[in-house]
Structure 1
Amino acid sequence: MLYFDYSATTPMSETALKAYIHAARHYYGNSQSLHHDGEEADNVLQLCRNSLMQLLNVPHHSIYFTGSGSEANFLTIVSIALASIHKGKHIIYLETEHHSVKQALHYLKRFGFTSTAIPLNSVGKVVKSQLEKSIKHDTSMAIIGHASSELGTIQDLGHLSWLLKKHDILLVSDCVQSFGKTEIPFESLDAFTLSSHKIYGPKGLGVAILRNTVQWQPFLTGTSHEFGFRAGTVDIPAIVAFTEAAEEITANQVKEEKRLKQLQALLISLVLTQDKLFVLEGDRLNRLPFHIALRRIGMEGQLLMLECKRKGIAISTSSACRAHFSEPPASLLAIGRSITEAHEFIRITFGQQTTEEDIHTLSQALLEISATYKEDLHGEIKEIVGRRTP
């Protein structure tokens, strides 16, 4: 099967897989144990933390390993919010955020927090004037993901951070989709999150980065792992593999981003120039290099996805975390699309294994499915009209 769902997950790289196996065999101790095996595991953990510290240009003690990117989002938002109650209980965010962000905001309601969604323009970008209008006297945090997993639109975090700092508002960003794929202004962020399995590392590992200047309060008190940020024994093999994957993907980032952009432009050209019923969503230029958000006017995205599946091609219709829910993607509604239009949405994402030949195969499949659907629909209309003819 041709795989075009790299936003949902990526296959582990050989480098990460070898590192995982080696660490699992040799560093199986609990990093909190005081015996030799525990000390060895802790030494490896600190080496990984130091490598990421240099890679991300953040202090050593600002890196916290979690069980997933979703958990990293939840713990980061809740931990900072609870420690910032004295500053205010209002949070601003984007409707295009990952579901885990919205879950955290829902949880904080029990502590009296309120939230406001920042209006977006038609391609999913934050407009400065709308951001300013969303700020209240008690706004303590802004949650603005670097890139939408559904639309692919990249936000100008450097520009937005400057405005937020004027109001003493912390900027928290979900960088899961963009890390290792395109440049991120880490220096503009007070806290951000990453996920291992989006960059060819193992599943079940996320990273929360909270700068030393940011106060936080643990979600669960009395824990000893990860400086008290998260309970549970850390997964040393996964952390080792993630570190290897992070170093590998960032080392090749510039070259791979250029290649992915070429594939992206090729697919857009092949499909949109030959079938005017396909519409590109999100920002055409400021978008993730491996990501294409499309609508086929008049055709359900689920139907198009299933027809691709029959042809041995994997695409998606939304974030994988919401794939089994029937409601339309919130990102499409947030940029003014109707419910019908939102249901037409499909997402195509590619990665290291994707070739130019794969792009041609996919484009041909999309065009064939679209053409067949038009013919079937036309025939159905003719049949209905024929039955009504006296």
Structure 2
Amino acid sequence: MLYFDYSATTPMSDYALDTYQRIARQYYANSQSLHTLGQEAEDVLAISRRTIAASLPPARPDDIYFTGSGSEATFLALTGLAIAHKAKGKTILTTEGEHHSVHQALAFLHDREGFHIRYLDVNQYGQVTEEELRSAIDEDTVLVTIGHANSEIGTVQDLAALGKILADHAILFHSDCVQTFGKLPIPLDVLTSASFSAHKCYGPKGVGAAYLQHAVGWASFHHGTTHENGFRAGTVDVPAIAAFAAAVEEMSANAHEEMSRLADYRDEFIKAFAGHAEVCFEGHPTARLPFHIALRAKGMEGQLLMLECNRKGFAISTGSACRAGQSSPSRTLISLGRSAEEAHELVRITFGKHTTKQDVTQLIKAIKEILLTYKGDE
């Protein structure tokens, strides 16, 4: 089967897998143990932290906190910042199109801590405009969270422009950068915090990281814990973190060339359906993930198209993997003005390091055949 679901997860690279096995065998001690073996494991952790920070200028190693996932990084960063700074204000701005983990964190802050959550309007491509952000800010606004790129439609936000506005108002700015880390430049200089995931960039599952600007205070969600300077409870998974760092180091070496290659495939795919009136593409035409396609076949359930592709040997998805099994329509597409029926038409096709031009050509051919068969059955 040909894999076209790299936004859901990526296979571990050989380099990351070899690193995991080597570290697991040699540096198996608890990194907080005071004996020599424990200190050797702590050294591996410190090297990994430096590697991650080096890929995220101007981050420092002590700005990086390792977690069990990108979702956990998002939850701990948002709750930690909001609670620590609630004396300055209790309004948080966000968008409907954020990842599920963002909505979970904000629901907790609303229900348990009394924060007010306000949703920014977006343009037809899912972007927050500078004008919209300026008009939404008031004296009670303490935090804004806007994802760098939407996992369902691929639109990339102009974080640099938005961040300058928030800096002028001394407002905290968090971004879910899971889809862009290791792939696109992240304007970390305008962010207070950001969240990342290893398994989206050819590292292992079960490990993520949060960036928290060292000059900004945060509150520990797990009171009394000592791991990760109190940011996260639980023994640190040193082999997984080392593999994460190895994957990031490997990706960073040729990220520009790789994204350019995948953007060519993306553009070729979109061009192949230019004459098909029943096919439309969601997301910004240029400010979008280079490896990502969000497609709707008008009048055809996305799940049906996905299953037909699966039957032909192609693995695509119907949107965010975190929404699998949910019958409700995508909040992202509803916020763009799509009907529930239109939102259910969405499929997501994403490319990665193992995707070839021949693979893309075969997928184009398969989808055209499916659409022709479906249209003929009407």
Map of 1:56 onto structure 2: 56
SS in 2 for 1:155: coil
In the other structure, the counterpart of 2:16 is: 16
Partner of residue 240 from structure 1, selected from 225, 237, 242: 242
Post-superposition CA distance 1:184-220 (Å, at most 9, x none): 2111111111100000000000100101121100001
Count of matched residue pairs? 376
In structure 2, the residue corresponding to 1:160 is in which secondary structure? helix
Q: What corresponds to 2:186 in structure 1?
A: 184
* 1:278-337 Cα shifts (integer Å, max 9, x gaps): 101000100000000011001010110011111011111121011111111111111111
Partner of 2:93: 92
2:367 matched to which residue of 1? 366
Q: Distance in 2 between matches of 1:53 and 1:257?
A: 21
What residue identity is the alignment partner of 2:265? L
Cα distance in 2, alignment partners of residues 288 and 258 from structure 1: 11
Counterpart pick for 1:194 among 196, 213, 223: 196
Task: For residue 183 of structure 1, give the secondary structure of its aligned residue in structure 2.
Answer: coil
1:319 paired with 2:320, answer: yes
Q: Secondary structure at the match of 1:86?
A: helix
* Contact preservation (8 Å) 2:10, 2:200: yes
Question: Aligned residue for 1:37?
Answer: 37
Counterpart contact for 1:5–1:350, Cα < 8 Å: yes
For residue 203 of structure 1, the aligned residue among 202, 205, 212 is 205
Per the normalisation by structure 1, the TM-score is: 0.95
Q: Match of 1:341?
A: 342
Match of 2:150 among 141, 148, 151: 148
1:53 CA drift (Å): 2.2
Matches within 5 A, 1:1-390: 1-57=1-57, 58-109=59-110, 110-270=112-272, 272-377=273-378
Give the Cα separation in 1 of the matches to 2:301 and 2:369: 15
Please state how far the C-alpha of 1:50 moved relative to its aligned partner: 1.7
- The letter of the residue matching 1:318 is G
User: Do the aligned residues in 2 keep the contact of 1:7 with 1:198 (CA within 8 Å)?
Assistant: yes
Give, in angstroms, the shift of residue 133 of structure 1.
2.2
| 1:45-86, Cα deviation, whole Å (9 max, x unpaired) | 111112222221212211100000000000000000000111
Q: Letter of the 1:266 partner, please give it.
A: E
Deviation per CA, 1:332-368, whole angstroms, max 9, x where unpaired?
A: 1111111111011110001000000011111111111
Q: Is the 8 A contact 1:275 1:367 kept in 2?
A: no
- Is the partner of 1:262 in helix, strand or coil? helix
Question: 2: CA distance between counterparts of 1:165 and 1:182?
Answer: 22
Partner of 2:305: helix, strand, or coil? helix
> Any conservation in 1 of the 2:64–2:209 contact (CA below 8 Å)?
yes
Counterpart residue identity of residue 33, structure 1:
S
Q: Which runs of 5+ in 2 are unaligned?
A: none
Mapped to 1, the partners of 2:76 and 2:47 lie a distance apart of: 24
| Structure 2: distance between partners of 1:54 and 1:314 | 34
Find the aligned partners of 1:237 and 1:6 in 2 and give their Cα distance.
23
Question: Residue type of the partner of 2:4?
Answer: F
In 2, Cα distance between equivalents of 1:112 and 1:321: 26
Rounded Cα–Cα distance in structure 1 between residues aligned with 2:136 and 2:341: 28
RMSD of aligned residue pairs (Cα, Å): 0.8
Check conservation: 1:152, 1:287, Cα contact below 8 A: yes
Q: Percent identity?
A: 53
- 1:55 and 1:273 map into 2 onto residues whose CA distance is 38
Q: Distance in 2 between matches of 1:333 and 1:250?
A: 35
1:258 maps to a residue whose letter is: S
State the alpha-carbon separation in 2 of the partners of residues 2 and 276 from structure 1: 27
For 1:53 and 1:198, locate their aligned partners in 2 and report how far apart those are by CA, in whole Å: 17
Q: Distance in 2 between matches of 1:136 and 1:297?
A: 41
Q: Which range moves more in the overlay, 130-139 or 10-19? A: 130-139
| CA distance in structure 1 between the aligned counterparts of 2:377 and 2:25, rounded to whole angstroms | 57
Q: Compute the displacement of 1:274 (Å).
A: 3.8
Q: Name the SS for the 1:65 alignment partner.
A: strand
| Secondary structure, counterpart of 1:95 in structure 2 | coil
Report the AA paired with residue 364 of structure 2: S
User: In structure 2, what is the Cα distance between the partners aligned to 1:134 and 1:166?
Assistant: 14
